[in-house]
């Protein structure tokens, strides 16, 4: 497994764990208060910190296991994988943001607009990491 | 299932003839072991520069390393 693929796995796990934690917290708050809570900076900061901590720990472990690969620059195939995965995942972000904007036009709810855009951002990143893994294992065709 | 690239190659045969591992070959031409494996398995068509680097390393013509595979084109 290349370092790029290991890195993608680490980021996929880190982001998935922190998002699951965030969504469960948000769900519990919604159940308790009976309404979707406003987006809060501390909760989002917590999400970012959990993601960064898991990502750093994972990358340190991956780098210690194979320092030579970790320090090597990306080669032509890896750069192509990054470009292609980034291009495809950008569609997820674009569609999500457009849907969130449309929902705002229809129901005028700023919270749904925020959560819609945020979910699109998270999903596009998850898609990007997943595509890194897929393209590392299969043809780039 | 993605179709293989229409360009076939003799990289594995030539690499084994000169007694190099995938890692050693990758290091010699500036790509990772995984990229060499992907080239050998026709999951990736290298850049022209890498193709020429391979031919130079094997001390042969580029046509002896890479060739167009008509069967892939017909089945596509």
* CATH number, domain with residue B29: 1.10.260.40
- Structural domain of B49: 7-62
pLDDT tens-digit readout, B15-67: 999 999 999 999 999 999 999 999 999 889 999 999 999 999 999 999 999 99
Asked if A77 and B31 come within 8 Å (Cβ–Cβ), the reply is yes
The answer to whether residue B71 is domain-embedded is no
Q: Is A8 on the interface with B (CB under 8 A)?
A: no
Assign A74 a pLDDT band (cuts: 50, 70, 90). Answer: confident
pLDDT at A140: 73
The answer to whether residue B32 is domain-embedded is yes
Domain count, chain A: 1
ipTM above 0.90, yes or no: no
Is A54 within 8 Å of A18 (Cβ atoms)?
A: yes
The answer to whether residue B46 is domain-embedded is yes
- Structural domain of A49: 3-137
The answer to whether residue B14 is domain-embedded is yes
pLDDT at B76: 47
Q: Which position has the token pair 């406003």? A: A38
The answer to whether residue B26 is domain-embedded is yes
**Residues in chain A closer than 8 A to B32 (CB atoms):** 2, 69, 72, 75, 77-78
The answer to whether residue B67 is domain-embedded is no
Domain count, chain B: 1
The answer to whether residue B2 is domain-embedded is no
């Amino acid at each position: 497994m290349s370092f790029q693929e290991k890195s993608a796995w680490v980021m996929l796990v880190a982001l998935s764990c922190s998002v699951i934690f965030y969504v469960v917290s948000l769900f519990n708050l919604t159940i308790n208060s009976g309404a979707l809570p406003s987006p809060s900076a501390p909760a989002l900061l917590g999400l970012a910190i959990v993601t960064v901590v898991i990502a750093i720990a994972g990358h340190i472990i991956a780098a210690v296991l194979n320092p030579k690969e970790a320090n090597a620059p990306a080669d032509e195939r890896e750069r192509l994988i990054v470009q292609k995965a980034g291009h495809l995942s950008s569609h997820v972000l674009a569609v999500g943001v457009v849907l969130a904007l449309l929902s705002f036009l229809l129901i005028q709810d700023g919270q749904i607009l925020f959560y819609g855009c945020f979910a699109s951002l998270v999903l596009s990143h998850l898609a990007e990491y997943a595509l890194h893994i897929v393209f590392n294992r299969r043809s780039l065709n | 299932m993605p179709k293989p690239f229409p360009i076939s190659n003799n990289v594995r045969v030539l690499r084994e003839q000169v007694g190099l591992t995938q890692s050693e070959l990758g290091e010699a031409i500036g790509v990772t072991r995984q990229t060499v494996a992907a080239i050998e398995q026709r999951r990736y068509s290298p850049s022209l520069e890498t193709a020429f680097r391979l031919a130079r390393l094997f001390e042969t013509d580029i046509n002896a390393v890479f060739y167009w595979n008509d069967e892939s084109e017909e089945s596509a």
